[in-house]
């Protein structure tokens, strides 16, 4: 599994290009901006993007949807709970950010769905709290978790935006993410990667 971490847009949201090393099939996660860096990574990997997934629909994670759906021809997927937010451009207008509308999703994800990308298998985990329909993607064979804005290195997602729910966020972290093995690498929506074990014991917001 090849993982390209691409911070994009005004808030430097992490877009991830995850490519199957054997087949070059790829998953594009959270293309938050129409950034040349994403196109360059796809070309450098000779990646065949099979699916674009939004972990959630805040503007800094969906800003490149329209461009990359058109560029790659890949379908777009997210959880239905964030569909209203997607249709409101992720709240971009409240931030004064001009953003093209996202295409409608081709697939609505449900907890337990498995996304097969080449030889990679990503399980959809339902992790609301930062937004109503937030999901995370877990690739068990490679111990990799792509968790959007739920859990960060020594931090957690904010819950003061419309649709946020602090109690739901803590349940998502403690009951869903912390149920994973300690050696799972956590690829968050902003900032550096970490591990479940490091956050379980060292995150001041949720350490147990």
- What's the whole-model pTM score? 0.97
The CATH class that applies to domain 2-202 reads alpha beta
The model's pLDDT over 104-118, given as tens digits with 9 standing for 90+, comes to 999 999 999 999 999
CA atoms within 13 A of residue 51's CA, in its CB half-sphere: 22
Domain map (residue ranges) of the chain: 2-202
Asked whether residue 187 carries a pLDDT value surpassing 80, the answer given is yes
Element of type H or E holding 124: strand 120-126
Asked whether residue 95 carries a pLDDT value surpassing 90, the answer given is no
Q: What is the pLDDT of residue 119?
A: 98
CB neighbour class for 185 (10 Å; exposed up to 12, middle 13-18, buried from 19): middle
β-bridge pairing 25-29 and 48-53: parallel
The C-alpha atoms of residue 58 and residue 62 are separated, in whole angstroms, by 7
């Amino acid at each position: 599994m090849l993982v390209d971490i691409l911070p994009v847009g005004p808030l430097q949201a992490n877009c991830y290009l995850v490519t199957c090393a054997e087949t070059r099939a790829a998953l594009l996660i959270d293309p938050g901006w129409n950034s040349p860096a994403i196109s360059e990574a796809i070309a450098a990997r000779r990646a065949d993007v099979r699916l674009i997934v939004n972990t959630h629909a805040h503007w800094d994670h969906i800003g490149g949807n329209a461009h990359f759906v058109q560029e790659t021809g890949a379908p777009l997927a997210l959880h239905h709970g964030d569909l209203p937010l997607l249709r409101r451009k992720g709240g971009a207008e409240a931030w004064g950010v001009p953003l093209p509308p996202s295409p409608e999703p081709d697939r609505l994800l449900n907890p337990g769905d498995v996304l097969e990308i080449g030889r990679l298998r990503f399980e959809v985990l339902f992790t609301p709290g930062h937004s109503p329909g937030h999901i995370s993607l877990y690739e068990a064979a490679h111990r990799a978790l792509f968790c959007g804005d739920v859990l960060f290195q020594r931090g957690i997602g904010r819950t003061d935006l419309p649709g946020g729910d602090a109690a739901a966020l803590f349940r998502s972290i403690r009951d869903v993410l912390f149920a994973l093995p300690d050696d799972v690498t956590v690829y968050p929506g902003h900032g550096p990667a970490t591990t479940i074990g490091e956050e379980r014991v060292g995150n001041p917001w949720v350490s147990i």
